[in-house]
Amino acid sequence: MPTAHHEKNARTTGRPTLNEVAKRAGVSPITASRALRGISTVAEELAQKVRDAARELGYVVNPAARALASAQSQAVVVLVPSLANQLFVETLEAIHNVMRPKGLEVLIGNFHYSRDEEENLLRNYLAYQPRGLLLTGFERTESARRMIEASGVPCVYMMDLDPGAGLHCVGFSQLDAGATAARHLLERGRKRLAFVGAQLDQRTLLRAEGFRRELQRAGVYEPSLELLTPRPSSVGLGGELFTQLLVSHPQLDGIFFGNDDLAQGALLEALRLGIKVPEQVAVLGFNDLPSSAFMVPRLSSIRTPRQAIGQRAAELVLSLIAGETVTQPVQDMGFELMVRESS
């Protein structure tokens, strides 16, 4: 009776190894490895034998061994501030669709709008030696920045455009989006305009800034009509803030919400309060979530290209990973004003 430690593979799960595949195919392990990775130096005949053997044995590569030996995983890390916002789910989806066919895993990290949490996730995930990094925005700890830099892992920043233009990024100008919102409302003849934002990440703040500047230019900027709260964005909160704003500023004739869920909550509350939208107050949302077009009245919003951003950003890291020279480090995907019934 052999004792465990005398046997080869005593600790393994019993999963077939590359060695076994190689033996069955009558080649050396390294040839099997090359064949399975599709390296073209292997004769097609041998490669076929190896693939057959692998299939017959039900061989699946051990990612840990591969990562250890090659000092690289097959993973791409994506860090988003939230999954509660449908926005990022759609972006993630698009990234997946680009990465999966390339055999890359997508590791999702949700940092809940917390810089510290993002830094932790980064430290953690970087230990996995990912092939690429997809991050959200430019706002992070100095330490996180250093880790990214030091890791040397190709990195693309999503959602906003780098003012410094030193980083690879795919997004749109949050500042312009805010300005566009203001211009639209102004063109509608509105003069007493408010901005309502929750979950104050840098992008929301940038939109507020763009909105504000445009109002200042038009000479109608009123500081007390800016309602910013760090509370998480939600439909309920939108209704609450809407009421609060109307009570304190009954003269109000237009509101730009930093997020569609807030705007939807406002629309619902207006219905309850009997406040006419857009007659008394125009309401403009941001992101154009799928349900916004079905609100009563249908919500006007600024549609953001999150799907396109995800796809393009993924393709961009892929290029970076492949070592290709990227001629367009900053990719502006724009946004679209959807005018419907609420404004």
CA 331, distance to chain mean position in Å, is 15
**Rounded Cα–Cα distance for residues 52 and 50 (Å):** 5
Q: Which does 19 bind (CB under 5 to 8 A by kind): DNA, a copy of itself, none?
A: DNA
- CA distances 155 to 133, 202, 261, Å, are 5, 19, 30
Q: How far apart are the first and last CA of the chain?
A: 82
- Indicate the burial class of 332 (C-beta count within 10 angstroms; 0-12, 13-18, 19 or more): middle
Q: Which does 8 bind (CB under 5 to 8 A by kind): a copy of itself, DNA, none?
A: DNA
Q: How far is the CB of 60 from a copy of itself (least distance, A)?
A: 5
Contacts of 243 (CB under 8 A, 6+ apart): 269, 273
Instruction: Give one DSSP letter per residue of 308-336, joined into a string.
Output: HHHHHHHHHHHHHHTTPPPS-SEEE---E
Q: How far is the CB of 25 from DNA (least distance, A)?
A: 9
DSSP reduced 3-state for 108: strand
Query: According to the binding rule CB under 8 A, does residue 4 interact with a copy of itself?
Result: no
Phi, psi angle pair for 30, to nearest 5° = -65, -35
Q: Which two tokens stand for residue 195?
A: 């901005």
Interacting positions 17-76 with a copy of itself (CB under 8 A): 60-68, 71, 73
Query: According to the binding rule CB under 8 A, does residue 97 interact with a copy of itself?
Result: no
Q: Which is nearer to a copy of itself, 280 or 330 (CB)?
A: 280
Structural Rg of the chain based on CA atoms: 26
Q: How far is the CB of 123 from a copy of itself (least distance, A)?
A: 6
SS (H, E, C) 170-188: EECCHHHHHHHHHHHHHHC
Contact window for a copy of itself (CB under 8 A) among 103-111, 179-187, 200-208, 242-250: 103-111
Query: According to the binding rule CB under 8 A, does residue 11 interact with a copy of itself?
Result: yes
Q: Which does 79 bind (CB under 5 to 8 A by kind): DNA, a copy of itself, none?
A: none
Query: According to the binding rule CB under 8 A, does residue 202 interact with a copy of itself?
Result: no
**Rounded Cα–Cα distance for residues 56 and 51 (Å):** 9
Total chain residues near a copy of itself (CB under 8 A): 50
Q: Which is nearer to DNA, 42 or 156 (CB)?
A: 42
Candidate list 43, 290, 324, 334; residue touching a copy of itself; CB under 8 A: 290
Q: How far is the CB of 30 from DNA (least distance, A)?
A: 4
**Rounded Cα–Cα distance for residues 211 and 173 (Å):** 12
Interacting positions 243-262 with a copy of itself (CB under 8 A): 261
Q: How far is the CB of 7 from DNA (least distance, A)?
A: 7
Site string for a copy of itself, 269-288 (x = CB under 8 A): x-xx----------------
Query: According to the binding rule CB under 8 A, does residue 108 interact with a copy of itself?
Result: yes
Q: Which is nearer to DNA, 47 or 246 (CB)?
A: 47
Query: According to the binding rule CB under 8 A, does residue 167 interact with a copy of itself?
Result: no
- In sequence order, what E strands does the chain have? 75-80, 105-110, 132-136, 155-159, 169-171, 193-197, 226-228, 254-257, 282-287, 300-303, 330-332, 336-338
Q: How far is the CB of 42 from a copy of itself (least distance, A)?
A: 22
Query: According to the binding rule CB under 8 A, does residue 338 interact with a copy of itself?
Result: no
**What residue ranges bind a copy of itself (CB under 8 A)?**
11-13, 60-68, 71, 73, 83-84, 86, 89, 92-93, 96, 105, 107-108, 110, 123-124, 126-129, 151-152, 234-236, 239, 261, 264-265, 268-269, 271-272, 290-291, 293-296
